[in-house]
Chain A
Amino acid sequence: MNSTSDESEILHIVSSFEYSTKLELLLLKLEENGIPKKHIVAIPLDKKREQKKGLFDTIHHSDGVSVVDLGFILGMILMLLGVIYGYILPIGPIFLAFIGLLLGFGIGTFTKYLYLKRKKTNITESKTEVILTIKCNQANVESIQDILWNHNALGIGVKFPDN
């Protein structure tokens, strides 16, 4: 099918995706279905504003790990104390260690979360990661939409030509 045959029948489909290997399968399938590569434009989105912080700032939020690091540090310390004092307390080393771990992890993660929130760091990231625009013929809109939905599109929009 030649999508440039009739100007009035041409339309654009815009859809959004997460990064995934399925997205590559989708692009391959679209090409197999006769959409020329030039009519597909994929725009990867930055999920956060690029950080312009000093390299050795104590916390690199961009690493994503920093929400839990304090949790595991406190978890480990309290677990260790739990083991040691469990020997001389009636509750025993195993249970006290487990309680220590949960308590430490809870306190640490909660504290870190509040801290990040106060610093107004964007902890949650947007789900949309790629915008895909496809130029195609009115005749195969349905089938393309089907393919898009089957490959985990987050959303699909169609711009029909003005009549």
Chain B
Amino acid sequence: MKQKLSTLNEQVHLPQRRWIFSSNSYAGNVLHRTNPWIVVWWSMAFPGFGHLIINHYFWGFLLIAFEYLVNNLGHVNEAIYYSMIGEITKSKSILHVNWTFLYVLVYAFSMWDCYRRSIENNKVYELANKEKGYISTFQFSPLEINILEKKEPILACIWSSFGPGLGEFYLHKLPYFLVSLSWWLVVIFCSNIYEGVFHSMVGEISVTKDIVPPQWILFIPSIYCFSMYYSYTLAIENNKLFEKEKAMFLVQRYQEGDLNELYK
């Protein structure tokens, strides 16, 4: 039966139907297995982050923009803050109902959507991985060069902890870097985070509490942790792809000699 199937395939000459790596000189996109619940978790932490993990950059960027805009318009973070410290009445008065309604709808949708996509991607990954198609290792354009090369996951993680997006710079993800850098600049200036860190470090903690608004600083934990987790994950997937490509190359190019013959 197996034999029959393979001869059938040879006859039809099916083109490569699925592949696990797509790249150009500005970025690469690696299809990989994900745990749907982890993806949902990151989507809960920040709508859009879940989509980034499962290769949907454009949807991710849109949802990230949505989160920043509508969360701020509805004062959602501020409301979370006041609820958590027990000032429920203040929390109720600060929420804008229109924007919060919209926020909740899209928030729930994005969680459901990335769960669904994660499962679809996993199925496709299994099939694409079995096809063992061509993996491009080299993309060269007049403006950029993108080489599939081993990267150090810990290093990517550390760079991301210095500045969200730097790890992705190291991993050569130009669009992601530009988007995350622009938003990070907005967050820095609206949240006064660096000034807040400075005043905390010189011991003026009350000044920090005054100049750092809860609405903006509540974005930072998810941005920071996701950025570190994401660049670590990307580096590992990049390395796995690199090894897969090398193994395929070696088998194709350097197994011409017959070992029985060589060791005779």
Q: State the A residues within 8 Å of B (CB).
A: 12, 19-21, 23-24, 27, 37-44, 55-56, 58-60, 62-66, 68-69, 72-73, 75-76, 79-88, 90-95, 97, 101, 129-130, 133, 135
B250 within 8 A of A: yes
For the A-B complex with A42-B255, A65-B236, A97-B221 known, give 12 more contacts whose Cβ atoms are closer than 8 Å. A37-B257, A38-B257, A42-B251, A63-B237, A72-B229, A76-B224, A76-B226, A84-B81, A85-B84, A93-B209, A93-B212, A97-B220
- Cross-chain contact A65 with B232 (CB below 8 angstroms): yes
B22 within 8 A of A: no
Bits for B72-85, please: 1 = Cβ < 8 Å to A, else 0: 00000000110011
B126's contact among A23, A55, A68, by CB below 8 Å, is which?
A55
- How big is the B interface, by class? 35 or more
B94 within 8 A of A: no
B240 within 8 A of A: yes
B136 within 8 A of A: no
Q: Chain A residue with minimal CB distance to B222?
A: A76
The residues of B that contact A73 with a CB separation of less than 8 Å are: 38, 41, 225
Q: How would you classify the secondary structure of chain B's contact residues: helix, strand, loop or mixed?
A: helix
Q: Which of B214-264 contact A (CB under 8 A)?
A: 214, 217-218, 220-222, 224-226, 228-229, 232-233, 236-237, 240, 242-243, 246-247, 249-251, 253-257, 259, 262-263
- A24–B212 alpha-carbon span in the complex (Å): 53
- A68–B33 alpha-carbon span in the complex (Å): 16
- Cross-chain contact A91 with B85 (CB below 8 angstroms): no
Q: Chain A residue with minimal CB distance to B81?
A: A84
Q: State the B residues within 8 Å of A (CB).
A: 32-38, 41, 45, 80-81, 84-85, 119, 122-123, 126, 149-150, 196-197, 200-201, 205, 208-209, 212, 214, 217-218, 220-222, 224-226, 228-229, 232-233, 236-237, 240, 242-243, 246-247, 249-251, 253-257, 259, 262-263
Q: Chain B residue with minimal CB distance to A59?
A: B35
Q: Chain A residue with minimal CB distance to B150?
A: A20
Nearest-neighbour CB distance to chain A for B153, whole angstroms, equals: 8
- Cross-chain contact A92 with B209 (CB below 8 angstroms): yes
The residues of B that contact A83 with a CB separation of less than 8 Å are: 214, 217-218, 220-221
The residues of B that contact A23 with a CB separation of less than 8 Å are: 246
- Cross-chain contact A63 with B214 (CB below 8 angstroms): no
- Cross-chain contact A133 with B250 (CB below 8 angstroms): no
B33's contact among A27, A58, A60, A84, by CB below 8 Å, is which?
A60
- A62–B239 alpha-carbon span in the complex (Å): 13
Nearest-neighbour CB distance to chain A for B46, whole angstroms, equals: 9
Nearest-neighbour CB distance to chain B for A29, whole angstroms, equals: 13
